[in-house]
Amino acid sequence: MELLVRMEKVLTSHSEAETMQIAAAVAQTLRGGDVLLLDGELGAGKSVFVRGLARALGITDRITSPTFVLFRVYQVKYKEQGTRNGGLDQEGPVSHVRMLVHVDAYRVRDAQELLDAGLGEWLERDDTVVAIEWGERVRDAIPVTGRARAVTFSGGDSTDERIVTVCGAAE
């Protein structure tokens, strides 16, 4: 029997730059198959977090909210360098992650709508990380084959302060 320990880390952000730094720290712990379920009020920092995550993974594309298209797929950029990994090294720190799927579940009726749109094929890939904004809305219906982590954003003591809580299973 495998014992999973639930880990929780609570961090405070006072700016978009700090939220992106928190995302970069989370990116260092990711592996393919991971799903991040992002929750918080409108404007709480979910999309900013995904931008920071993408940058930390080496994605240079402009990251925009997929509210009206349900999800966007971004490929991690690689460059020729040295001999590690068959001569290909990733620009970002997580060499085994090849794709980031950014999902926005705000406007979906149910999780089946996301699965019908093709999200299921990305959830099953061991080289892909999926970040789902408004993840609480679809949490119970999304088949997660990798590790799932909840990232919750809530207001702090001032208008620019955000409390970011990252929960997940530690190995």
pLDDT tens digit string along 20-42?
999 999 998 888 889 999 999 98
8 A C-beta contact, residue 37 and residue 148: yes
pLDDT in tens, 72-106: 999 987 654 443 444 344 444 555 789 999 999 99
d(CA 13, CA 109): 31
Q: What phi, psi does 168 have (nearest 5°)?
A: -175, 175
- H helix intervals, 2-154: 16-27, 46-57, 111-116, 119-123
Q: Which of 3.40.50.2300, 3.40.50.300, 3.40.50.1860, 1.10.1200.30 is the CATH number of 31-152?
A: 3.40.50.300
End-to-end CA distance of the chain: 13
Angle between helices 16-27 and 46-57 (to 10 degrees): 50
d(CA 140, CA 152): 16
pLDDT in tens, 128-167: 999 999 998 888 777 665 678 899 999 888 888 999 999 8
Amino acid in the structure at residue 117: A
Q: What angle do CA 14, 75, 122 make, to 5 degrees?
A: 95
The whole model's pTM is what? 0.82
